[in-house]
Amino acid sequence: MIRNILFDLDGTLTDSKEGIIKSAQYALEKLGIEPPAFSEMFWVIGPPIRQSFSEKFSLDEETAFRGLKFYQERFGDVGYLENEVYEGVPEMLKILKDKGYRLFITTSKPTVYTEAILKHFGLYDLFEFVSGSDLDGTRGTKAEVIRTVMDKHGLKESETVIIGDRKHDIIGGKEAGIFTIGVRYGYADKGELESAGADWIAKTPMDIVRIVEES
């Protein structure tokens, strides 16, 4: 029986593509790299920014770190507010909270930005704990932020599920030995969640309530 629910943020609770992509484009320009068009940069949403830059542009560790700091420069100023909550998410979270489920955030986004976004949209108090990365990009993988919550709160694997929109959420959940729900309304490519092995797929936020209650 599921009692603990770990939520990804970007693409799962909020539609944050504008702020993330524009901040990534800004960072690439500062590095002297011609950024791809907005419509060609959805790859940057989900994984740690430094990792994405390094893999996509074959950057060395120092340059990728500089890119991360440039990204944070813009994102911390205006990017985090270029965002909106998906329709149905507040209602879904309140239903789950009222039913007694323990709600947590597990995201590769730095904790300081995650908390600011949740507070901005009035969602912060619905969560017991926010687990994100550090500003230097460490503790950024999904498995790491999941394990932080699991260890700190003594959560049982058999009672815990992670909900996210990208393969990294599903893979991280499986590495931690917990259940996984992929949300189809986020940023995943066609078939991405299924290929990663998601236990369930939610088409809408309210589907999440049904899946959790039936599991």
Do 105 and 170 fall within a single domain? yes
Do 71 and 89 fall within a single domain? no
Q: Which of 61, 81, 101 is the last residue of a domain?
A: 81
Do 34 and 121 fall within a single domain? no
Structure tokens at 95: 């239903």
CATH number at residue 62: 1.10.150.240
User: What pLDDT is attached to residue 105?
Assistant: 97
The rounded percent of the chain whose pLDDT value lies above 90 is 86
CATH number at residue 210: 3.40.50.1000
* pLDDT over 70 at 129, yes or no: yes
User: What pLDDT is attached to residue 48?
Assistant: 83
DSSP three-state, residue 202 = strand
DSSP three-state, residue 44 = helix
Do 61 and 9 fall within a single domain? no
Do 188 and 148 fall within a single domain? yes
pLDDT digits (tens, 9 = 90+) for 101-115: 999 999 988 899 999
pLDDT mean over 121-147:
87
Of the two residues 108 and 203, the one the predictor is more confident about is 203
Q: Which of 56, 81, 106 is the last residue of a domain?
A: 81
What's 94's DSSP letter? Answer: H
Do 64 and 159 fall within a single domain? no
Which burial class, exposed, middle or buried, applies to 138 when counting CB atoms under 10 A from its CB (0-12, 13-18, 19+)? exposed
User: What pLDDT is attached to residue 108?
Assistant: 87
Do 102 and 183 fall within a single domain? yes
User: What is the spatial distance between Cα 88 and Cα 76, in angstroms, rounded to a whole number?
Assistant: 26
* Domain with 36 in it: 17-81
User: What pLDDT is attached to residue 141?
Assistant: 82
Distances (CA, A) of 209 to 14, 164, 167, 187, 201: 17, 14, 21, 20, 12
From 120, 113, 88, select the one nearest 203 (Cα to Cα). 88
Q: Kindly report the pTM of this predicted structure.
A: 0.87
Q: Which of 31, 62, 81 is the last residue of a domain?
A: 81
pLDDT mean over 3-18:
96
pLDDT mean over 6-34:
96
* pLDDT over 80 at 137, yes or no: no
Distances (CA, A) of 199 to 5, 102, 213, 215: 14, 20, 14, 10
Do 63 and 114 fall within a single domain? no
User: What pLDDT is attached to residue 134?
Assistant: 82
Do 63 and 108 fall within a single domain? no
User: What pLDDT is attached to residue 29?
Assistant: 97
Residue with tokens 């730095």: 110
> Number of folded domains in the chain?
2
Q: Which of 8, 15, 169, 207 is catalytic?
A: 8
Cα atoms found within 13 Å of the Cα of residue 116, Cβ hemisphere only? 14
User: What pLDDT is attached to residue 123?
Assistant: 97
Is 8 annotated as catalytic? yes
Q: Which residues pair with 133 in a beta bridge?
A: 110
pLDDT digits (tens, 9 = 90+) for 153-191: 999 999 999 999 999 999 999 999 999 999 999 999 999
Do 58 and 146 fall within a single domain? no
* pLDDT over 80 at 83, yes or no: yes
Do 27 and 93 fall within a single domain? no
* pLDDT over 80 at 139, yes or no: no
